[in-house]
Amino acid sequence: MNFDLRLSLMFALLTPALRAVDYNSQIKPIFSQKCYACHAVTKNKVKGDVALDTPEELAKVIKPGGHIVPGEPAQSTLLSACKAADDDDEVMPPKGKNRLTAAELTALEGWIKEGASLVGGAAAAAPAPMAAAAASGAAQSWTSSDGKTIQASFAGMKDGSVLLKMAASGEVFQVPLSRLSAESQAQAKAAAGQ
Ligand code: HEC
């Protein structure tokens, strides 16, 4: 397989598996478009005693025994209601109108599995100081020039390329600096002490 193809595949394949679902960009828009009409304190609509629009209200929903059980999609009745058949009494939104798409259901399920956090996905986690992370060989995020992200540790520089050791497989790839985003190029140079 040629190198460029291998590299794009590496970015393409690893990204979905490794990136956490982000509440603000992926889940909130679903709630807002498909649920707030009936479940928002700010609209004075709290059907079934459920509101999904403020952190205070969400705290009543997201908890052990709540409609969303962090880390437990199978126990989360909010998810099963969204997945129910159109004619099911429990289906949300009711009567099969404005159903969640398959992609939205996948995002919702992934978000619950990852702990149903309101403060963002892995992308939002504060990055460790670069030099320290590189020195300890810890995995960092690297973004390609076309915006895809992987987790890998810095393993050196060679002929204008950065050597990245994949966190998942341990495989080392030689990635031309030009294939990385400006930020990741800077991260490589900082790690190399340049
Ligand atoms: C058209 C209004 C409407 C929309 C839109 C709607 N719901 Fe509901 N929802 C209701 C009503 C009415 C109830 C109370 C039904 C009941 O208790 O049987 C309810 C109850 C619920 C409950 C509690 C169920 C229980 O077992 O107590 C959950 C969870 C829920 N909705 C989630 C959602 C989610 C998530 C969305 C968006 C994807 C949504 N709803 C969209 C009207 C709506």
pLDDT in tens, 70-94: 999 999 999 999 999 999 999 999 9
Name the stretches of the chain with pLDDT < 50. 15-19, 122-135
Long-range CB pairs of 68-73 (<8 Å, 24+ gap) are 68/112, 68/116, 69/112, 70/112, 70/115, 70/116, 70/117, 71/112, 71/113, 71/114, 71/115, 71/116, 72/112, 73/109, 73/112, 73/113
Atom 6, ligand 1: which residue's CA is nearest?
A: 93
| 179 touches ligand 1 (CB under 6 Å) | no
pLDDT attached to residue 128: 39
| 162 touches ligand 1 (CB under 6 Å) | no
> Do the Cβ atoms of 73 and 109 come closer than 8 Å?
yes
> Do the Cβ atoms of 176 and 116 come closer than 8 Å?
no
| 94 touches ligand 1 (CB under 6 Å) | yes
Atom 20, ligand 1: which residue's CA is nearest?
A: 48
| 47 touches ligand 1 (CB under 6 Å) | yes
Cα of 171 to ligand 1 centre, how many Å?
A: 47
